[in-house]
Amino acid sequence: MKIISIVGARPQFVKAAPLSKELRKNFREILLHTGQHYDHNMSPIFFKELSIPKPDYNLGIGSGSHGEQTGKMLGAIEKILLKEEPDLVLVYGDTNSTLAGALAAAKLHIPIAHVEAGLRSYNRKMPEEINRVVVDHLSDLLFCPTETAVSNLKLEGITRGVFNTGDIMLDSLSSSLKAAQRKSRTLEKLNLKSKTYLYATVHRPENTDNRRNLKNILDAFGESDKTIVFPVHPRTQRMIKEFKLKIPKNIRMISPVGYLDSLQLQVSAKKVLTDSGGIQKEAYVLKVPCITLRTETEWKETVKDGWNVVVGANKEKIIDSIKNFSPKGKQNNYFGTGDSVSKIVKIISNY
Ligand code: UD1
């Protein structure tokens, strides 16, 4: 069986790393990178740290408006699919690269497997929500990370080819956490002691492209008596400059970090503040309280267990949760046990 795996953005590299290794033991895998992310700390660093094979194709599409970026990918992916004639196209998550890959394959009647299927925020203003809904409806194999995801699909009438395989990010996390703690020098470099600082990431358009929201978030961070380590996404960096926002003194702005530093900074943080999906879940698994800078979350289980609080860009709520949010409760096994790669490979083999 010939499989084309399509990746393009940071979280997809993390998810593809463990699966690609296993796929190559059983099938012929061709790796296609759309080039959606291209900076050293946004793409090559992940390939190096996670020993992901060099992509067979890199389309070099880069940034652009949603329509332009997705459209360019669609045309370029179609050409490769026509040339390679794969038996299956594998897409990950919910980025524009996921949408373009699935759409190109569907139009050519090539079966599609979607890793991280069934997630919903029920907020169609999020570009990712549109991508997820469309990709799930086009997919033949839908690998869900949780039972909630399986139920979400059922509500939309999708029941065939649906499997709860657990969350693939746990496979990545469990195989990299020790390496992160051994190899990462980030705490030393930043002169930080474990559990004395907060870790923050902000990259969603609803926060970065809205002056009031971005200012609220930075101002709230500034009210904390703790150092806040803040790896800054290129878009966030650009918008801080464009909006001429002041950076409070306790915020340590650093360049985007690779996977190992990211894990090390999270596991050693007192609390995490984020609008990322993946980081909410990583924080949960690492037992670090998470304050989510969004108005809703796809990872409801983390909120249900009390380890995640959803506060949006509300300054008072952020300040309050930085001070007072300190969960201690038991955690449940919602995301599986880190063996989703073997489950996925088995299902693909029987397909
Ligand atoms: C994308 C995904 C998002 C995911 C995120 C992970 C979509 C719709 N969004 O968002 O779901 O959580 O990746 O990081 O696909 N840029 C650079 N260098 C890069 C990449 C981007 O400078 O290597 C800048 C460009 O100014 C670009 C902006 O970041 O315009 C946004 O990049 P883009 O790939 O469009 O979306 P992300 O916000 O990264």
pLDDT digits (tens, 9 = 90+) for 124-144: 999 999 999 999 999 999 999
Tell me the best of 14, 40, 95, 232 to mutate to test the pocket of ligand 1, counting ligand atoms within 8 Å of each CB and taking the most: 95
pLDDT, residue 319, reads: 98
Give the active site residue among 66, 114, 137, 203.
Answer: 203
Q: How many angstroms is it from 60 CA to the middle of ligand 1?
A: 14
Q: Which atom of ligand 1 has the smallest separation from the CA of 208? A: 38
d(CA 249, CA 99): 40
pLDDT-derived band at 299, boundaries 50, 70, 90: very high
Q: Which atom of ligand 1 has the smallest separation from the CA of 235? A: 29
Tell me the best of 66, 103, 124, 203 to mutate to test the pocket of ligand 1, counting ligand atoms within 8 Å of each CB and taking the most: 203
- Stretch 147-160: mean pLDDT, rounded? 98
Q: Does ligand 1 come within 6 angstroms of the Cβ of 21?
A: no
Tens of pLDDT, residues 239-279: 999 999 999 999 999 999 999 999 999 999 999 999 999 99
d(CA 2, CA 186): 40
d(CA 6, CA 23): 13
277 φ/ψ angles, rounded to the nearest 5 degrees: -75, -50
Q: How many angstroms is it from 34 CA to the middle of ligand 1?
A: 12
- Stretch 196-213: mean pLDDT, rounded? 97
Cα distances from 83 to residues 60, 108, 147, in angstroms, run 18, 12, 37
pLDDT-derived band at 62, boundaries 50, 70, 90: very high
Please, are residues 76 and 59 in contact by the beta-carbon 8 Å criterion?
Answer: yes
- Stretch 37-55: mean pLDDT, rounded? 97
pLDDT, residue 217, reads: 98
Please, is 98 exposed, middle or buried when counting C-beta atoms within 10 Å of its C-beta (0-12, 13-18, 19+)? Answer: buried
- Stretch 168-172: mean pLDDT, rounded? 97
d(CA 116, CA 128): 12
Q: Does ligand 1 come within 6 angstroms of the Cβ of 132?
A: no
Q: Which atom of ligand 1 has the smallest separation from the CA of 127? A: 8
Closest residue by CA, ligand 1 atom 22 = 234
pLDDT-derived band at 193, boundaries 50, 70, 90: very high
140 φ/ψ angles, rounded to the nearest 5 degrees: -100, -35
Closest residue by CA, ligand 1 atom 31 = 235
Q: Which atom of ligand 1 has the smallest separation from the CA of 99? A: 15
Q: Does ligand 1 come within 6 angstroms of the Cβ of 235?
A: yes
pLDDT-derived band at 180, boundaries 50, 70, 90: very high
Q: Does ligand 1 come within 6 angstroms of the Cβ of 275?
A: no
Q: At what angle do helices 234-242 and 211-222 cross, to 10 degrees?
A: 100
Whole-model pTM: value is 0.97
Please, are residues 304 and 277 in contact by the beta-carbon 8 Å criterion?
Answer: no
pLDDT-derived band at 334, boundaries 50, 70, 90: very high
pLDDT-derived band at 303, boundaries 50, 70, 90: very high
Q: Does ligand 1 come within 6 angstroms of the Cβ of 63?
A: yes
Domains of the chain listed by start with CATH number: 2-167+336-350 (3.40.50.2000), 173-324 (3.40.50.2000)
Closest C-alpha to 180, from 262, 105, 237: 262
DSSP structure class, residue 124: T
pLDDT, residue 80, reads: 98
pLDDT, residue 337, reads: 92
114 is catalytic: no
Please, is 17 exposed, middle or buried when counting C-beta atoms within 10 Å of its C-beta (0-12, 13-18, 19+)? Answer: buried
pLDDT, residue 289, reads: 98
